Amino acid sequence: MVYTKELSFHTNGYCDIIDITEDVSEIVGKSGITEGLVTVSIPGSTASVTTIEYESGVVKDLQEVLEKLVPSDKTYAHDRRWGDGNGFSHVRASLLGPNKSFVIKDGEILLGTWQQIILIDFDNRPRNRTVIVQVLGE
């Protein structure tokens, strides 16, 4: 059985991090699937889905590390070619990837005690983002 739904989020860009765990869990519950997998995916090349302990300290730490690894104030080849100034957002998104999959057991997503599913928008402007949640199983 496959159950697919979309979630919509307005983001601020520049490493905006949104906890989407509750939204994904709600879809898993509505799917009726008790054993299987859920994949959470974001179409596009300037955003990612990953996990973190969603608390202000770790969120800030992640934002700071990403800024150090892939600075937003550097000029990238992408920027020279397209002139849109978001080369950093493409590089950051490629490092973290567009999707994650999680095991479902007894109708629940198996996450650690302090683990939440997050959407990160790296673009250099606000966006309306669509997240695809696909539940597979029985």
Whole-model pTM? 0.96
Amino acid 128: pLDDT: 97
Pairwise CA distance, residues 37 & 68, whole Å: 34
Model pLDDT for residues 65-123, shown as the tens digit of each residue: 999 999 999 999 999 999 999 999 999 999 999 999 999 999 999 999 999 999 999 99
Q: How far apart are CA 127 and CA 13, in angstroms?
A: 7
DSSP state of 76: P
Domains of the chain in sequence order: 2-137 (2.60.120.460)
Nearest to 49 by CA among 86, 24, 27, 12: 24
Number of C-beta neighbours around residue 25 at 10 A: 19
